[in-house]
Amino acid sequence: MICTLCDTHELEYGSLCPSCTRATHERLTRLPRLWSSLESWLTPGTTGSAQYGGRVRLAEAPLPLDSEVLDLIAEGGIVGVLEDWREAVYETRGWWWPPRANTIAQRVTIAADDLNHHLDWISRWYAGEAFGRDIRRLFQRAYRVVQPGHDLDQPRPTFLGHCIAVDPSGVVCGAKIYADMRTAVQCEWCLCPYPPERWLALRHFQPGSRPAAAPERSAAA
């Protein structure tokens, strides 16, 4: 029998091969941190400071509110998928469903940790393949938001810096910009273009950058 998640490795029993089980464990371990990172992507202007902008053209498009982020951090997003599977595991094993924590962040962490605790059993469960596929899809959606421009199956592109475009209210965009030789480099939030000849200026005006101090002249000069 072939593992139905990767369609590569042979199985003696169960529904997830050891490789897919380890990958699922890693995704469950990282999902709570990814969920926490998503909140900072609701409004890209919060990642920069106005003092570092003003030297590129103003963003022509309004700052977007990412619906994908809202879907993932809301009640029916990451926490909903994790808790639905946790409940299915408990019901299948004939256990009482434990009470939920107060905040969504706590619920995500508890559900992910608990599912990891049952992962050996899940890998032998008839629904293990569907579980692994759901977790993989969920992780990929969240990863693409917090790491824009990164493809999980391709080498990581070079990080150029944070977008320094300023909107009409004086707020710096601050979204992450990555080099990509296959296509024009453009901020995914405000659409400000960054051709190669502007990469040096982008680096120069990054938050925390300081121009080099001029050498002091000697008294004899």
Residue 48 lies in a domain: no
In contact, 4 and 13? CB cutoff 8 Å: no
Residue 2 lies in a domain: no
Dist CA 85 CA 178 (whole Å): 36
Query: How many domains is the chain built from?
Result: 1
- 28-43 tens-digit pLDDT: 999 998 888 887 666 5
Residue 38 lies in a domain: yes
Residue 82 lies in a domain: yes
Burial of 111 (0-12, 13-18, 19+ CB in 10 A): buried
What is the domain extent for residue 90? 18-43+65-146
Residue 119 lies in a domain: yes
**pLDDT exceeds cutoff 60 at 21:** yes
Residue 80 lies in a domain: yes
Number of H helices, E strands in the chain: 7, 2
Residue 153 lies in a domain: no
- 69-106 tens-digit pLDDT: 788 888 889 999 999 999 999 999 998 877 777 788 89
